[in-house]
Amino acid sequence: MRNRTHLIIGAGKMGGALIKGWILSEIITPEQLLIIDPYPSEEANKAIKAGALHLKTPNNKLQDVQTTILAIKPQKINELSNGLSKYLPQDSLIISILAGTKIEKLQGVFNNHAIVRAMPNTPSSIAKGITGFVKNSKVNNNQTLEVMKLFQALGKVYELNNETHINTITGISGSGPAYLFYFIEVLERAAIEHGLPVEFAAVFARETIIGSAALLDNSNDTPAKLRQNVTSPKGTTEAALKILMKKNGLEQLIHETVHAAIKRS
């Protein structure tokens, strides 16, 4: 059996998304994985059934762990720290995806460890995610390459040079999928309100977003140019955009939305 080299603490929605993405990409096998969570998510339970080792609390099974991913609620760090420090190898890399938890705080909990603060998002579960990360001075080149390898398997990854940028991307890409999903919900409800059957409202709203994102991904044009391509003078799209683009319209709402997320982070 392979050594258990990767530990994930917290296997809820986001932790489960990472587990799913890593196993699907074969960057980590279930046999290499340890999971600490009293109530693992569906994706985590699939990994456990496939060979991952499930622990309720830290113990001497952590002796071979090279990389530890923190995906718990920030307030739970302190209660875990004593058990972890007792069993976790000193050279284990700590990767935290905890929103609003600075490297300085993590260094106080995991003294002398190499620490990375990262912000992935849920599309990572299907290798369509985007992750930004920063690191402390103890992270060596091999560990940086390990971080890049792990998150490249889940989509795109960028090393940032300023920790405040993590807060910004938390409000953009970390929370961004929720904004988009809510937009789709609202679009579906608008379609239903105007008489479209529920099943058609769902498919037309969702496929519009999916197709538009694919078009953007396959185009060299800016979002503004693609928007203009849809907009005919005095046409239906122009009439709709006048509502979205009016003073205190969608742009103002999005700025307030992102600001609220960044402030919380």
This prediction's pTM: 0.91
Task: Round to whole Å and give the CA distance between 88 and 68.
Answer: 9
Task: Round to whole Å and give the CA distance between 236 and 89.
Answer: 62
- Would you state the pLDDT for residue 1? 45
Q: Residue 159 to residues 6, 49, 165: CA-CA distances in angstroms? A: 21, 34, 10
Q: What is the spatial order of strands in the sheet that 6-9 belongs to?
A: 53-55, 33-36, 6-9, 67-70, 93-96, 115-119, 129-135, 155-159
pLDDT per residue of the chain (265 residues) written in tens, 0 to 9: 458 899 999 999 999 999 999 999 999 999 999 999 999 999 999 999 999 999 988 999 999 999 999 999 888 887 777 778 889 999 999 999 998 899 999 998 888 899 999 999 999 999 999 999 999 999 999 999 999 999 999 999 999 999 999 999 999 999 999 999 999 999 999 999 999 999 999 999 999 999 999 999 999 999 999 999 999 999 999 999 999 999 999 999 999 999 999 998 8
User: Nearest-CA neighbor of 44 among 56, 59, 58?
Assistant: 56
For 188-238, the pLDDT digits (tens) are: 999 999 999 999 999 999 999 999 999 999 999 999 999 999 999 999 999
- State the helix-helix crossing angle for 198-217 and 223-230, rounded to 10 degrees: 130
User: Tokens representing 232?
Assistant: 């005919």
User: Cβ atoms within 10 A of the Cβ of 210, count?
Assistant: 11
Map out the domains of the chain with their CATH numbers: 6-161 (3.40.50.720), 176-264 (1.10.3730.10)
The 3-state DSSP class for residue 14 equals helix
Which positions ≥6 away from 236 have C-beta within 8 Å? none
Residues 91, 93, 98, CA angle at the centre, nearest 5°? 145
195: alpha, beta or left? (left if phi > 0; alpha if psi -120 to 50): left
Residues 155, 158, 161, CA angle at the centre, nearest 5°? 165
* Four-point Cα dihedral 242, 231, 183, 12, nearest 10: -140
Q: Residue 203 to residues 126, 193, 197, 217: CA-CA distances in angstroms? A: 21, 15, 10, 21
- Would you state the pLDDT for residue 2? 54
User: Nearest-CA neighbor of 193 among 175, 205, 209?
Assistant: 205
Alpha carbon of residue 55 to chain centroid: 23
H helix intervals, the chain: 13-25, 42-49, 77-87, 103-109, 141-152, 164-169, 176-193, 198-217, 223-230, 236-244, 250-264
Task: Round to whole Å and give the CA distance between 57 and 9.
Answer: 9
